[in-house]
Structure formats: C-alpha cells, structure tokens
C-alpha cells in the first residue's frame, strides 16, 4: 500500500523542482505588477517608499478619457487586424495548398515579412507613407491623383498602421493554417469527394471544421499579440494624430516613462491582462466544442470509408 503511494507520488516529486521554478518565474512578476498597481509609485522612489492607495489607480482610470480612448482604439485595432489577417492567411493557405512547381519558393517569400524586426517594419512603412518621397504618394502623383495624408490624418493613420500590421502578420496565420491543412486526414477528403462534394463544399464543410482547433489557437495567439502591439505604431505615428492610433501599450509605456506613474501603468496593464484572460477563456471553451466537432467529423469519415 505504502509502495503504491510512493509510486503514485514519484512523478510529481520529479516534476516538483521544475514546477516550482516555473511557478515562481511566472507568478512573481505578475504578483509584483498586481502589487504595484495598488501604489502611488514614481520611478524616483523605491517600491518600499511608495504610498499604498488601494484601488485608486483602477477607479481613476475608469474616468480617464485618454485611457478609455486608447482602450477603444486597441479593441478596434485588434479586432480589425486579426479579422483581416485570418481571412487573408487562411485564404492564402487554401490557395497555396497544392503541389505545383515553385510553390515552396512562393511560400518562403510569403513568410518573409514576419521575420523582420517590428521597429524596422515601422520605419520602412513610415518612409513608404512619406508625404512627398514615399512610394505611395509618388505613384499616386505620377498617375495624376491627389496625394493621401497617410499619417497626418487620423482616419488614414489608423488605416495605415492596420495595413502595416496585416502585411507583417498575415504570414503567421498563413504558415500555421498551411500546416493544419497539410495534416488533415485524407480519409475525410476522400469520403467527402465520394459523397459528391465540390471544391467549395469541401473547404466549407470539411477542411475548415477540421482545421478549427488550430485556427482558434492561431487566432488567440494573434489576438494577444495584436492587443500588445507597440513598436510599429510607436515608430510610424507615435500614437497620433491626436489619439487616433494611441493603443494601450503605448499609453502604458507613456504613463510609466513620460508621466512617471508606475502604479497607474501597472493598473492599466492589469486591465489589459483581465481582458486577455477573458478572451482566452472564451476561446478555450469554444475550442473544446470545436475539437469535439472535429472528432465527430473524423469518426464519421472513418465510418463512411
């Protein structure tokens, strides 16, 4: 009996050191940030000298117009870029999931943008959007059109940062979608073809449902990243004009460094953390349902064959 207990505990004992290290490494910074959010703390003080203010930072932010605006801008930005990237990425994967000559070269070219450092991407697009020497306005002028105020008008600036982000991160969706496509069970495809499914029906009723678990994880990863985007926008617009592209990461960074309010910056980060946790939980629940559906589809395909 005792031996059985020891045997049951053995794996946990072996795992314990790594689990403790991981736990501390993950939880300590989060705990530190949560604690900091209850303080009126500026960088000239040590954390021990900062005044404890309870929930004041959180309540203050609820009435802070600029914070609300940047929260809304972030929501808008993340939902638009992730939707566009999912559409384009999955679409491209479906289009390029075939074995013809030159396809591997094409795939490699498609994933180049995501290999470039975000700061460089920001600079590159900023120069392309330049009002006089940028390639877009030069092209428009040469065709006889009026130049566009890419970065000097709020709506255009918002569209411009979306274009840059979509350009850089669509390949991420593409590469994961392609991997998911290529690992789909061929039996399911064959069963659908035998049942007379055409190309569109095959995509809509077989491929996409089977890919869904991977797509949801991909979507989640991109969504988390999109909510935290900083460098590209910092370099391209620095949050302007006005507050039109001031996403939350930029606001948090400003609050900590320019306004020297570390407690308030930590509270903002925690609001973002809470939002992302809610989104992640919702995605995982949905993912569970999708996995069950994909399993049913696989089983049905096996039965058909």
Partner 1 sequence: MAGFAVADGHGGPYAPYAGTTLVINVPAHPHYNAMMKVLPQFTEETGIEVEVDQLQYLKMRERQTLELTKDEGDYDLISYVVFSKADYVFADQLENLARFFMNPKLADPAYDAEDLIDGYVANIGIAGGFKGYLPGATGSLFGIPYGSETSVLAYRKDIFEKHGIATPENYDQLLDAACKIPEVEEGMGGMASRAASGHQASHAFLLHLAPLGGRVFDDNWEPIINNEAGVAAANALKTIVDCGPEGSQTFGPSEAAAAFSQGQAAMFMDSIAFAAGFEDPTKSKVAGKVGYALHPEGVRRGSQTGGFGIAIPKNAQNKEAAFLLMQWLTSKKGDLAVAMAGGNPSRFSTYENAELNAKYPYSATFGEALKYADPDWRPIIPTWGKINADIGTTMSQVLTEGLDPQEALDGVAERARAIMDEAGYYTWQ
Q: Which two tokens stand for residue 79?
A: 């939902």
Asked if 258 is part of the footprint of partner 1 (rule: CB under 8 A), the reply reads: yes
Asked if 72 is part of the footprint of partner 1 (rule: CB under 8 A), the reply reads: no
Instruction: Give whichever of 74 and 170 is closer to partner 1, judged by the CB atom.
Output: 74
Instruction: Give whichever of 21 and 66 is closer to partner 1, judged by the CB atom.
Output: 66
Residue 197 has what DSSP assignment?
-
Instruction: Give whichever of 31 and 43 is closer to partner 1, judged by the CB atom.
Output: 43
Please report, for residues 1, 206, 238, the alpha-carbon distance to residue 76 in angstroms, rounded to integers and kept in the order given.
Answer: 59, 31, 17
Asked if 132 is part of the footprint of partner 1 (rule: CB under 8 A), the reply reads: yes
Asked if 240 is part of the footprint of partner 1 (rule: CB under 8 A), the reply reads: yes
Stretch that binds partner 1, among 97-105, 148-156, 211-219, 279-287 (CB under 8 A): 148-156
Strands (E) across the chain are located at: 39-40, 51-52
Beta-carbon contacts of 260 under 8 Å, excluding residues fewer than 6 positions away, are: 42, 43, 44
Say whether 55 sits in a helix, a strand or coil.
Answer: coil
Instruction: Give whichever of 44 and 108 is closer to partner 1, judged by the CB atom.
Output: 44
Asked if 42 is part of the footprint of partner 1 (rule: CB under 8 A), the reply reads: yes
Asked if 146 is part of the footprint of partner 1 (rule: CB under 8 A), the reply reads: no
DSSP letter string over 209-231?
Answer: HHHHHHHHHHHHHHHHHHHT--H
Chosen residue from 243, 273, 275, 279 binding partner 1 by CB under 8 A: 243
Answer for the pair 250, 239: CB distance below 8 angstroms, yes or no.
Answer: yes
Instruction: Give whichever of 23 and 43 is closer to partner 1, judged by the CB atom.
Output: 43
Please report, for residues 4, 6, 7, 8, 12, the alpha-carbon distance to residue 1 in angstroms, rounded to integers and kept in the order given.
Answer: 5, 9, 10, 11, 18
70-81: b (≥16 Cβ within 10 Å) or e = bbebbeebbebb
Q: What angle do CA 248, 255, 49 make, to 5 degrees?
A: 135
Stretch that binds partner 1, among 86-94, 194-202, 235-243, 276-284 (CB under 8 A): 235-243
Asked if 228 is part of the footprint of partner 1 (rule: CB under 8 A), the reply reads: no
Asked if 66 is part of the footprint of partner 1 (rule: CB under 8 A), the reply reads: yes
Asked if 142 is part of the footprint of partner 1 (rule: CB under 8 A), the reply reads: no
For partner 1 (CB under 8 A), the number of binding residues is: 30
Instruction: Give whichever of 85 and 261 is closer to partner 1, judged by the CB atom.
Output: 261
d(CA 218, CA 200): 23
Q: Which two tokens stand for residue 250?
A: 């930029």
Chosen residue from 97, 153, 225, 231 binding partner 1 by CB under 8 A: 153
Asked if 29 is part of the footprint of partner 1 (rule: CB under 8 A), the reply reads: no
Q: Which long-range contacts (CB under 8 A, 24 or more apart) does 284-293 make?
A: 286/216, 287/213, 287/216, 287/217, 290/209, 290/212, 290/213, 290/216, 291/212, 291/213, 293/209, 293/212
The distance of closest approach from Cβ of residue 163 to partner 1 in the complex, given in angstroms and rounded to an integer, is: 16
Stretch that binds partner 1, among 28-36, 73-81, 124-132, 290-298 (CB under 8 A): 124-132
Asked if 2 is part of the footprint of partner 1 (rule: CB under 8 A), the reply reads: no
Interface residues with partner 1 (CB under 8 A) are 42-46, 65-66, 130-132, 147, 149, 151-154, 237-243, 246, 254, 257-261
């Amino acid at each position: 009996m005792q031996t059985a207990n020891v045997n049951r505990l053995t794996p946990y004992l072996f795992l314990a050191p790594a689990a403790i290290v991981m736990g501390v490494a993950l939880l300590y910074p989060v705990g530190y940030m949560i604690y900091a959010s209850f303080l009126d703390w500026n960088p000239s003080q040590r954390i021990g000298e900062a005044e404890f203010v309870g929930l004041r930072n959180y309540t203050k932010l609820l009435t802070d117009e600029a914070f609300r605006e940047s929260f809304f801008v972030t929501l808008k930005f993340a939902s638009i870029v992730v939707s566009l990237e999912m559409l384009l990425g999955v679409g491209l994967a479906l289009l390029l999931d075939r074995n013809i000559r030159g396809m591997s070269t094409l795939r490699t070219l498609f994933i180049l943008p995501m290999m470039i450092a975000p700061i460089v991407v920001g600079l590159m697009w900023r120069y392309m959007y330049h009002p006089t020497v940028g390639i877009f306005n030069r092209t428009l002028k040469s065709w006889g059109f009026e130049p566009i105020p890419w970065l000097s008008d709020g709506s255009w600036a918002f569209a411009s940062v979306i274009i840059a982000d979509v350009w850089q991160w669509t390949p991420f969706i593409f590469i994961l979608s392609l991997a998911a496509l290529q690992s789909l069970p061929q039996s399911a495809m064959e069963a659908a073809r035998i049942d007379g499914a055409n190309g569109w029906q095959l995509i809509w009723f077989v491929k996409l449902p089977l890919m869904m678990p991977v797509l949801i994880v991909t979507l989640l990863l991109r969504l988390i990243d999109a909510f935290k985007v900083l460098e590209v926008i910092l370099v391209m617009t620095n949050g302007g004009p006005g507050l039109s592209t001031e996403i939350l990461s930029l606001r948090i960074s400003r609050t900590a460094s320019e306004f020297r309010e570390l407690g308030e910056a930590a509270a903002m980060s925690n609001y973002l953390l809470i939002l992302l946790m809610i989104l992640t939980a919702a995605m995982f629940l949905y993912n569970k349902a999708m996995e069950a559906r994909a399993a049913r589809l696989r089983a049905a395909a096996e039965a058909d064959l």
